[in-house]
Amino acid sequence: MELAELKLITASNIINLRTSHGMTQAELGAKLNYSDKTISKWERGEAIPDAFVLTQLASLFGVTVDDLLSSHDKWEAPPDETVGPEFTYSTNRIIALVMVAIFTLSLTVFVTLWMLQIVEWRVFLVGLSAAILTYMILVCVFKEGRHLQYILAVFVLSLFALLFFFVPVARPWRLMLLAIPAEILVFLSCNIRKPVIRDKLKKLHKD
């Protein structure tokens, strides 16, 4: 008898004995001081218990070791009890959730100040900058920096908007003139890398 066949025979016997005794894989594993994942491997024919464990199993179920190693019926792969339901997460929904949370926080601060007879709408400007910064971080984490230069450009504009409305200077619109070179710097910085492979392909086509 080959080892692979012996594994399947033993697996079938363990399954039948365990289920007939109303045990789960976890319960059987606890009695043998093994994890339910190990029990699952035995029942799937991926491994076979050693001689000591076979003796334990025989004593536990009131059979002989020979009974455990002898063929009684055809083996069928059991459902893996250690595998739970699989869940996937939508990155777009995570990002949307964070954005709504930041807006809610801004609105909470605004309403709280309003109740104190302070109407400070600039709270939303701070919240906007925080939301754009957070969105930029999440895009780097979940979307590998897709469209990062455009998000960064909007974030820089939001910072200048904060300066425009918060810095107490005469003619604050002059601060916005600085936004032009700042935006140019953003786009140039984000496009420093040269697509070497594309250039090589073009050169090959020309040759």
CATH of the domain at 50: 1.10.260.40
pLDDT exceeds cutoff 90 at 11 = no
pLDDT reading at 197 higher than 50: no
Number of domains in the chain: 2
- The pLDDT, as a whole number, for residue 140 is 80
Tokens of 83: 């595998």
The answer on 25 and 108 residing in a single domain is: no
**Most confidently modeled range among 27-36, 88-97, 100-109, 154-163:** 100-109
Residue % of the chain over a pLDDT of 70: 80
User: How confident is the model over 46-86, as pLDDT tens digits?
Assistant: 888 888 889 999 899 989 888 888 876 554 444 554 444 44
On whether both 63 and 135 belong to a single domain, the answer is no
Half-sphere exposure (CA, 13 Å, Cβ side) for 73? 9
| 50 lies in some domain | yes
Domain identity same for 100 and 56: no
> 207 lies in a domain?
no
114 shares a domain with 185: yes
Inside any domain, residue 171: yes
Q: Is the pLDDT at 111 greater than 90, yes or no?
A: yes
Q: Is residue 84 part of a domain?
A: no
Q: Please tell me whether residues 168 and 95 are part of one structural domain.
A: yes
Are 191 and 105 within one domain? Answer: yes
Contacts of 187 (CB under 8 A, 6+ apart): 149, 153
Could you tell me the pLDDT band of residue 171, with boundaries at 50, 70 and 90?
Answer: low
Note whether residue 206 is domain-resident: no
Domain end call among 34, 69, 104:
69
pLDDT tens column, 174-194: 777 777 888 888 777 777 765
By residue range, what is the domain housing residue 179? 91-201
Q: Is the pTM of this model over 0.85?
A: no
In a domain, 107, yes or no: yes
How large is the C-alpha radius of gyration of the chain? Answer: 33
CA–centroid distance for 146 within its chain = 18
Q: In one letter, which amino acid is 5?
A: E
* Closest of 76, 69, 72, 78 to residue 1, by C-alpha: 69
64 with 96, same domain: the answer is no
- Provide, rounded to the nearest whole percent, the portion of the chain with pLDDT above 90: 13
With both helix axes pointing from N to C terminus, report the angle between 3-20 and 51-61 in degrees, rounded to the nearest 10.
Answer: 30
Same domain, 103 and 196: yes
Please report whether residue 86 resides in a domain: no
Q: Do 103 and 62 lie in a common domain?
A: no
Same domain, 151 and 104: yes
Does residue 182 share a domain with residue 95?
yes
Mutual orientation of helices 36-43 and 25-32 as an angle, nearest 10°? Answer: 110
Residues 190 and 104 in one domain: yes
